[in-house]
Structure 1
Amino acid sequence: MTSTNQTAIVTGAGQGAGTVIARKLASRGINILVADVNETTSQKVVQELKDDFGVDAVFVKTDISIEEDVRNMVQTVVDRWGRLDWACNNACVVEAMALDEDNVTTEQFDRMYAVNQRGNWLCQKYECIQMRSQEPRPVTLFPSSRTVMQRGAVVTISSVNGNTGAGLPGYSAAKAAILSLARTGAQFYGPYDVRVNVVSPGPIAHDGFSRWLETQSPEIVKFIEGTTSSTPLRRQAYPEEVADTVNWLLSDGSTFITGANIICDGGLLAARF
């Protein structure tokens, strides 16, 4: 794989869909910063990115709810590679979920917001500040050969729950906030040729999700199973399918897409609403 000299941050890249997103971007020759709290799995991902795609990759231990961690994450990209072209904010917490507000504690709700809302806002903020400050990159449009300028693009992972508010109040509320953050970010940073978008998947079929589901209450399991069975495609998304959507938004094929919420749910919302 020939390096493009482009760079990307993927948070939560030490496992699950985050790893697949990182691999998808690396397959284009993009150097990857793997940001995660799990050093063991993340270092394995870093080595695989180097071995499989010939790119440069680095792990930075990052709790996105801690502002200094996020600043250090972005600064590491700049110190190592000189600029930040792409960012996927995928990290989130999904523990301690409940279907009704009666069973959500204040501590659980605060933790959901600290990571899933505030943490993703911190990522978007510092990523966009860096992108705005760097030189624009010319992109030639085919077949006209017109040229547009791009400084960078950010994608944050929300959820279909953030679009409906149906059940899981702490999780859904935090994921809904991501939609508003992306819209305001798109408006503010658009004049600087920085794009900000959201991908909203339904349940994603991967080992981490399966292990998590085994720890949940029967009510949560029934809720997830009902979601899958009511999806028109009658299955959960595979991580590769979500990664393909992110990959398009973090590419020169989507230069006029910003402030968008791309729903990757197999038709679930169309069927329900």
Structure 2
Amino acid sequence: MAKFADKVIIVTGASSGIGQSTAELLAKEGAKVAITGRSEKGLEETKQLMLKAGGNEEKILTIAADVTNEEDTKRIVAETVKKFGKLDILVNNAGAGTMEGYPDSSIAQPLLVYDYINNLNARSVIALCQEAIPHLKASKGNIVNVSSIGSLRASPNFMYYQMAKAALDHFTRILAAQLAPEGVRVNVVNPGAIRTNWLARTGIPQAAVDALEKSWLNVWLPMRRVGEPIEIAKTIAFLASDDASYITGQMIVADGGAVIATVPMPKDTSR
């Protein structure tokens, strides 16, 4: 039997990257999946990938929505429960490193950038959880949040983003402690460098992205490769599955070893 047969799952940020791969994998494993994102074109692409993977059209719900809009967060959960009758798993994947029109999310950027980044990466997760929790208590379900190793490091160019992800990590731990007696698990995945359009969306030219990738491979990535979205999707699926039934409040870092990387010291030429 498929691992997620009869499970109802919401995946946010499902129009590309990690969210898209997660939705595709869950559909392959028999889940009923509500995919949501702002790009209708991207959601349609995701739906076709889900069908190609063996998903059933009747088990897919597409919801074009903006998770930073509270009415939309209510609609995402309400429409999912209306179609499928319940909710078992919430995957909070939607996020971004900066705001369109701004090169980064550093202290040099105005507070409207901070507000946007925090609303998307942290506040929207709280809003969705508030709507989903009554249903998850009923199903003894679980929540998987998608954070970043940015919460564990200090990059001045992405200050607001890393602050929001650090808040998301701690929110996960606190919510897990609160919901554990109710039989609801809450965990978080912290990806490192993954081959998505994340950097391109910040406005960095592709040539610069390629150069960054080479530098990551040589200095910051002990495994010497950038990760693929499906690798994070599999990690999300593990935490969401019964295989992780005794795991809650935990952070799983999937980064090719970036956090443990040792930066080479410059050669001492004075001797």
**2: CA distance between counterparts of 1:69 and 1:187?**
27
Q: Which one-letter code corresponds to 1:120 in the other structure? A: V
Pair 1:83 & 2:90 matched: no
Give, in angstroms, the shift of residue 52 of structure 1: 3.3
Deviation, 1:256, is 0.6
Q: Kindly state the Cα deviation for residue 71 of structure 1 after the two structures are TM-superposed.
A: 1.1
Which runs of 5 or more structure 2 residues have no equivalent in the other structure?
A: 264-271
Q: Quote how far apart the aligned CAs of 1:171 are.
A: 0.8
Change (3 A) 1:161 1:5: same
Aligned alpha-carbon RMSD (Å): 2.5
1:204 partner SS: coil
Q: CA deviation at 1:57?
A: 0.3
Asked if 1:232 is matched to 2:222, the reply is yes
Map residues 51-62 of structure 1 onto 2, 5 A cutoff: 51-55=52-56, 56-62=59-65
Give the TM-score, by structure 1 length.
0.85
Match for 2:96 among 84, 93, 97?
93
Match of 2:9 in 1: 8
Instruction: Report the equivalent of 2:109.
Output: 104
Cα distance in 1 for residues equivalent to 2:235 and 2:30: 18
CA distance in structure 1 between the aligned counterparts of 2:214 and 2:227, rounded to whole angstroms? 13
Instruction: Report the equivalent of 1:174.
Output: 164
Question: Cα offset for 1:106?
Answer: 1.3
Which amino acid in the other structure matches residue 130 of structure 1? H
Aligned counterparts of 1:21 and 1:177: Cα–Cα separation in 2: 23
2-side partners of 1:182 and 1:205: how far apart? 25
Offset, 1:43: 2.2
Q: Which residue of 2 aligns with 1:258?
A: 248
| Contact persistence 1:203–1:228 (CA under 8 A) | no
Percent identity over the alignment is 27
Matches within 5 A, 1:1-273: 4-55=5-56, 56-95=59-98, 96-98=102-104, 100-101=106-107, 103-132=108-137, 134-135=138-139, 151-167=140-156, 168-206=158-196, 208-209=197-198, 211-212=200-201, 215=204, 226-229=215-218, 230-272=220-262
Cα offset, 1:97, TM superposition = 4.8
The C-alpha deviation readout for 1:95-118, integer Å capped at 9, x for no partner, is: 3353742x2221111110111111
Instruction: Classify 1:38/1:235 alpha carbon distance in 2 versus 1 (closer, same or farther; 3 Å).
Output: same
* Structure 2 CA distance for aligned equivalents of residues 58 and 114 of structure 1: 25
Give the superposition deviation at 1:228.
4.1
Q: Distance in 2 between matches of 1:175 and 1:13?
A: 19
Q: Which runs of 5+ in 1 are unaligned?
A: 136-150
Alignment check: 8 A CA contact 2:97 2:105 kept: no
